[in-house]
């Protein structure tokens, strides 16, 4: 039996039920993990609301860390006692879960379980966004929306380290200060300022090579106007709602732009790409190049409050649940 946050009907945070759920022994290729810390992500909101439909009922949660307690038949990489983490679980909002060993990586010494739970999904996303959808480096100017959020806080530090000029949009003065501390060279208060005009001003009219937009509905059109000719819009989320009525001709009109709508899961689909991505992340975190900030901790049973705060734009950095 595991204690878990289960969704029986899609809806608001109130549909999150904390209940006992029977857990079978780990199947072939699976391990049983005792959870020590759980990452909260916007994708959990999309699953809860049904924007990304899931068969009901289901246990929420993609990201978490814990200790292997038992191994099913055919498991070769992991053994009881190993500390593990993942960004691709089916039900991490639980005191215990079963997962295929192919989804898990060992947490290296020097990285705590809480840090791992706070960074696997958000940090590996920052890595593939900066290194794989594009290859950001010196001479590049990027715009990163929601720069003080979970993904944004990590990406801002990493992009600065890679040598790019980083412009970050943020929802408040306090978040602007945080983004600057994380290495944003410029910040824009996009709730009160016209971010397109501000980007033009900051760049002297030359605009950005890449725009990273996870806000979606309220920003995507402006994001296109922040790009140089042949620039790249990486649309990787929809915190404000999904993009609708997109016409490809816009890309032509605004300078033969590129658009990608990537997912972490495609960029870490093989053992090789998962290990490469995770190891790169572990490396920058162990060196202190990227610091993982846990902005808030909640008890697992209070997951609904964590969702309310995330959706109300009240969180900064990573949010974790403690079982």
Q: Return d(Cα 15, Cα 40) in angstroms, integer.
A: 16
Residue 80, phi then psi, degrees to nearest 5: -50, 140
* Shortest Å, Cβ 264 to ligand NAP: 4
Six-digit token pair at 59? 């246990």
* Shortest Å, Cβ 68 to ligand NAP: 25
* Shortest Å, Cβ 73 to ligand NAP: 32
Quick one: which segment of 23-31, 133-141, 149-157, 199-207 binds ligand NAP (CB under 6 A)? 149-157
Quick check: 259 and 235 in contact, CB under 8 A? Answer: yes
Residue 49, phi then psi, degrees to nearest 5: -80, -15
Site for ligand NAP contains 42 (CB under 6 A): yes
Quick one: which segment of 19-27, 245-253, 259-267, 286-294 binds ligand NAP (CB under 6 A)? 259-267
* Shortest Å, Cβ 23 to ligand NAP: 26
Per DSSP, 94 falls in state B
Q: Which of 61, 150, 222, 323 binds ligand NAP (CB under 6 A)?
A: 150
Report helix angle 113-128 to 150-162, nearest 10.
Answer: 60
Site for ligand NAP contains 66 (CB under 6 A): no
Q: Is 233 helix (H, G, I), strand (E, B) or coil?
A: strand
* Shortest Å, Cβ 178 to ligand NAP: 9
Site for ligand NAP contains 149 (CB under 6 A): yes
Q: What is the CA radius of gyration of the chain?
A: 20
* Shortest Å, Cβ 92 to ligand NAP: 14
Q: Which of 32, 48, 175, 178 binds ligand NAP (CB under 6 A)?
A: 175
Q: Return d(Cα 44, Cα 306) in angstroms, integer.
A: 11
Q: Is 114 helix (H, G, I), strand (E, B) or coil?
A: helix
Quick one: which segment of 26-34, 97-105, 145-153, 299-307 binds ligand NAP (CB under 6 A)? 145-153
For residue 100, the number of C-alpha atoms closer than 13 Å in the C-beta half-sphere is 5
Quick check: 134 and 204 in contact, CB under 8 A? Answer: no
Site for ligand NAP contains 125 (CB under 6 A): yes
* Closer residue to ligand NAP (CB): 91 or 171: 171
Q: Is 126 helix (H, G, I), strand (E, B) or coil?
A: helix
Element (H, E) at 78: none
Quick check: 252 and 224 in contact, CB under 8 A? Answer: no
* Closer residue to ligand NAP (CB): 42 or 158: 42
Quick one: which segment of 12-20, 66-74, 118-126, 281-289 binds ligand NAP (CB under 6 A)? 118-126
Residue ranges binding ligand NAP (CB under 6 A): 41-43, 121-122, 125, 146, 148-152, 170-171, 175, 214-215, 236-240, 262-264, 310-311, 313, 315
């Amino acid at each position: 039996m595991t204690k878990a946050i289960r969704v029986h009907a899609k809806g608001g945070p109130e549909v999150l039920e904390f209940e006992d759920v029977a857990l079978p022994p780990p199947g072939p290729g699976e391990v049983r993990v005792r959870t020590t810390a759980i990452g909260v992500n916007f994708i959990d909101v999309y699953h809860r609301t049904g924007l990304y439909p899931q068969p009901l009922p289901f246990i929420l949660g993609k990201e978490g860390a814990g200790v292997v307690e038992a191994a099913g038949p055919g498991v070769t990489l992991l053994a009881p006692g190993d500390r593990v983490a993942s960004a691709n679980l089916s039900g991490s909002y639980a005191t215990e879960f079963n997962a295929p060993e192919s989804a898990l990586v060992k947490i290296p010494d020097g990285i705590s379980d809480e840090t791992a739970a706070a960074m696997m999904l958000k940090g590996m996303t920052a890595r593939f966004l900066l290194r794989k959808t594009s290859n950001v480096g010196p001479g590049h100017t990027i715009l990163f929306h929601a720069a003080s959020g979970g993904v944004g806080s990590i990406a801002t530090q990493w992009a600065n380290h890679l040598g790019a000029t980083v412009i970050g949009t943020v929802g408040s003065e306090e978040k602007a200060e945080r983004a600057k501390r994380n290495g944003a060279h410029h910040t824009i208060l996009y709730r009160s300022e016209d971010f397109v005009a501000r980007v033009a001003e900051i760049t002297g009219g030359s605009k950005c090579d890449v725009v990273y937009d996870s806000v979606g509905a309220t920003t995507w059109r402006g994001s296109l106007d922040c790009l140089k000719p042949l620039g790249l819009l990486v649309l990787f989320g929809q915190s404000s709602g999904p993009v609708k009525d997109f016409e490809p001709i816009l890309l032509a009109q605004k300078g033969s732009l590129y658009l990608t709508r990537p997912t972490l899961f495609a960029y870490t689909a093989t053992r090789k790409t998962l290990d490469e991505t995770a190891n790169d992340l572990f490396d920058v975190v162990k060196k202190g190049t990227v610091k993982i900030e846990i902005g808030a901790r909640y008890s697992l049973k209070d997951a609904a409050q964590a969702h309310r705060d995330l959706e109300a734009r009240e969180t900064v950095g990573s949010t974790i649940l403690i079982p």
